[in-house]
Amino acid sequence: CGTPGCRCKASPPEKHGPYYQVSYTRKGKSSSKFVKKKDLPAIRKQLKNYERMKLLIDRWIELGTELSNLRLAKETI
């Protein structure tokens, strides 16, 4: 940081944190991004919405598979 006598220059050094970051994997590649403190509420909301979307998609797939199985069973009767 360049400030003389700062705790980050101590032995052992103490970082300036806290630091916030979000880690994710997309197309098989892991990545991490730092998040500013002022952006935390929006990021947390987005992550909560993403988790809800994943649950809804899983449920949609389950129901679609069940419907398909019922239709196939009906055709074979």
Q: How confident is the model at residue 17 (pLDDT cuts 50, 70, 90)?
A: confident
- How much is the pLDDT for 48? 97
CA atoms in the 13 A half-sphere facing the CB of 5: 0
- The answer to whether the Cα torsion of 34, 36, 40, 43 is positive or negative is negative
- What is the residue extent of each domain of the chain? 8-76
Q: How confident is the model at residue 53 (pLDDT cuts 50, 70, 90)?
A: very high
